């Protein structure tokens, strides 16, 4: 049986901060020899992800014990670029992922630049940009371009749904301020692919709290029925809080259509399910129409089709609701 190699505790801490990834350079810096690193790979304890990058959490079955494997996979791709190119800074979508913005495509490519803008030959799946940096930020030990530059770089490379979702999330999570968002829009002009994205910036909304909400909102707008309100607070006739719903449409005769969107891992435990049913029943008892959808419904175009049917049957016409204003389920309708 091969003798187990003792991995330095300091390297294990580094790996933990990098989602289980380390570079061969980091291994050497923390006291491991190249022979020991090769032995870890040969014995199946580590896996070589790309040249110069190792996965210390790999096991023969190929599984990672992570709560959100999709988010982790994106982060790991972003980190790979930094480890493959020591001294580099994460850019574009990779930087947005590390900065905490949601809404990136399921699969992303590692991408980096060097602060002096010097050229490098890209290796494998890592994209190396040539963009001189005046400043960058460090998040959890990982260098990234600032959020406004990351947005300007990323949006022209993406399709509309993912671009707007990342813009929404970056604003909602304060990855960028509103001033920085406007500067990102200006900075994006002139980049390859930017012309087709010009109108996308206009439909971004910082009230969206998840990529699924963004996708549903865009789908409804494309179907001719944009929501009248986002994150609408609903109260009863006495002003007591009842709910805050993702999307809402104000209907004739003081009625309202409320739509809630459930993510992959939300509202799944019995307590949450019971609470949601009770809340939905309470809203319906006061005359509200309540629909609930999942991410699969959004992907299959179920959301906009069902909402369009309800709105047509109710004689709805668009009447945007003031942001921040609550809706009262009473004959007088608003507070």
Which domain CATH number covers 277? 3.40.960
In this predicted structure, what is the pLDDT of residue 62?
A: 42
Q: How confident is the model at residue 332 (pLDDT cuts 50, 70, 90)?
A: very low
Res. 63 pLDDT band, cuts 50 70 90: very low
Strand (E) or helix (H) holding 124 = none
Q: How would you classify the pairing of strands 327-328 and 229-235?
A: parallel
User: Is 60 exceeded by the pLDDT of residue 202?
Assistant: yes
User: Do both 20 and 135 map to the same domain?
Assistant: no
- Considering the domain architecture, whether residues 98 and 199 belong to the same structural domain is answered as yes
Q: What is the mean pLDDT of residues 240-258?
A: 92
Based on its alpha-carbon atoms, the radius of gyration of the chain, rounded to whole angstroms, reads: 24
22, 83 in Cβ contact below 8 A?
yes
Short-list 325, 332, 327, 335, CA closest to 288 = 327
Output the pLDDT for position 123.
Answer: 62
Tell me how far CA of residue 67 lies from CA of 61, 108, 252, 261, 264, in angstroms.
Answer: 17, 19, 44, 21, 12
Q: Which of 97-111, 272-286, 288-302 has the highest mean pLDDT?
A: 97-111
pLDDT at 48 over 70: yes
Highest mean pLDDT among 59-63, 180-184, 270-274: 180-184
By percentage, how much of the chain surpasses pLDDT 70? 89
Residue 150 has pLDDT above 90, yes or no: yes
- pLDDT, residue 2, reads 66
DSSP codes of every residue in 253-302? GG-EEEEEEE-TTSS-SHHHHHHHHHHHHHHHHTT-EEEEEEHHHHHTTH
> Whole domain around residue 48: which residue ranges?
9-55
Residues 134 and 152 grouped into a single domain: yes
The reply to whether 188 and 262 lie within a common domain is no
Please indicate, yes or no, whether residues 49 and 83 belong to a single structural domain of this protein.
no
User: What mean pLDDT comes out for the span 28-40?
Assistant: 95
Does 226 have pLDDT greater than 80? yes
Half-sphere exposure of 177 toward its Cβ, with a 13 Å CA cutoff? 2
Q: Check whether residue 186 and residue 299 sit in a common domain.
A: no
pLDDT, residue 237, reads 84
Residue 265 and residue 282 share a domain: yes
Confidence of residue 8 (pLDDT cuts 50, 70, 90): very high
Q: Please count the structural domains in the chain.
A: 3
Residues 87 and 189 in one domain: yes
Q: Is residue 61 assigned to a domain?
A: no
In terms of DSSP bridges, do strands 111-113 and 127-129 run parallel, antiparallel, or are they unpaired? parallel
Q: Which pair of structure tokens corresponds to residue 90? A: 């994460």
The pLDDT assigned to 272 comes to 44
Residue 265 lies inside a defined structural domain of this protein: yes
Whether residues 76 and 182 share a domain: the answer is yes
Distance CA 63, CA 81 (A): 22
Answer yes or no: do 304 and 240 share one domain: yes
Task: Name the percent of the chain lying above pLDDT 90.
Answer: 75
Is residue 165 over pLDDT 80?
yes
In a domain, 170, yes or no: yes
Torsion of CA 272, 275, 277, 278, to 10 degrees: 180
Residue-level pLDDT at 262: 84
pLDDT band at 268 (very low <50, low <70, confident <90, very high): very low
68, pLDDT greater than 90: no
pLDDT confidence band for 286 (50 / 70 / 90)? confident
pLDDT at position 280: 74
Mean pLDDT calculated for residue range 48-75:
73
pLDDT of residue 120: 79
Q: What are phi and psi of 49, to 5 degrees?
A: -85, -50
Q: Are both 118 and 177 inside the same structural domain? A: yes
Q: Quick one: which of 214, 79, 95, 82 has its CA closest to 157?
A: 95
Q: Which residue has the higher pLDDT, 187 or 263?
A: 187
Q: Average the pLDDT over 98-108 and give the result.
A: 96
pLDDT for 37:
96
**Is the pLDDT higher at 74 or at 287?**
74
pLDDT in tens, 314-330: 999 999 999 889 999 86
Q: Is residue 63 part of a domain?
A: no
Structural contact between residues 30 and 8, judged by C-beta atoms closer than 8 angstroms: yes
Over the chain, what is the mean pLDDT? 89
Strand order across the beta sheet in which 89-90 lies: 127-129, 111-113, 89-90, 142-144, 137-139
């Amino acid at each position: 049986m091969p003798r187990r190699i003792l991995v330095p505790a300091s390297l294990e801490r580094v790996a933990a901060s990098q989602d289980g990834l380390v570079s061969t350079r980091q291994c050497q810096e923390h006291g491991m020899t190249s022979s020991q690193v090769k032995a870890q790979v040969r014995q199946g304890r580590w896996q070589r992800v790309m040249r110069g990058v190792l996965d210390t959490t790999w096991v023969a079955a190929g599984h990672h014990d992570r709560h959100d494997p999709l988010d982790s996979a994106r982060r790991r791709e972003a980190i790979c670029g930094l480890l493959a190119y020591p001294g580099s800074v994460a850019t574009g979508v990779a930087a947005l992922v590390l900065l905490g913005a949601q809404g990136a495509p399921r699969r992303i490519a590692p991408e980096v630049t060097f602060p002096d803008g010097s050229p490098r030959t890209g290796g494998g799946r890592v994209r190396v940009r040539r963009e001189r940096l005046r400043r960058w930020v460090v998040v959890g030990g990982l260098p990234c371009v600032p959020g406004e530059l990351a947005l300007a770089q990323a949006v022209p490379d993406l399709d509309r749904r993912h671009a707007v979702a990342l813009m929404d999330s970056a604003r909602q999570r304060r990855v960028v301020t509103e001033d920085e968002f406007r500067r990102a829009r200006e900075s994006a002009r002139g980049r390859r692919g930017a012309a087709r994205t010009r109108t996308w910036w206009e439909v971004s909304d910082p009230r969206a709290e998840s990529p699924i909400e963004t996708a549903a909102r865009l789908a409804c707008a494309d179907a001719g029925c944009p929501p009248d309100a986002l994150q609408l607070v609903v109260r009863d006739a006495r002003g007591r809080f009842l709910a805050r719903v993702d999307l809402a449409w104000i209907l004739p005769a003081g009625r309202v259509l409320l739509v809630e969107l459930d993510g992959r891992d939300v509202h799944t435990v019995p307590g949450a399910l019971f609470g949601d049913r009770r809340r939905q029943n309470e809203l319906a008892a006061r005359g509200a129409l309540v629909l609930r959808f999942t991410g699969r419904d959004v992907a299959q175009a179920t959301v906009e089709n069902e909402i369009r049917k309800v709105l047509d049957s109710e004689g709805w016409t668009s009447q945007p609701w003031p942001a921040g204003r609550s809706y009262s389920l009473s004959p007088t309708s608003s507070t």
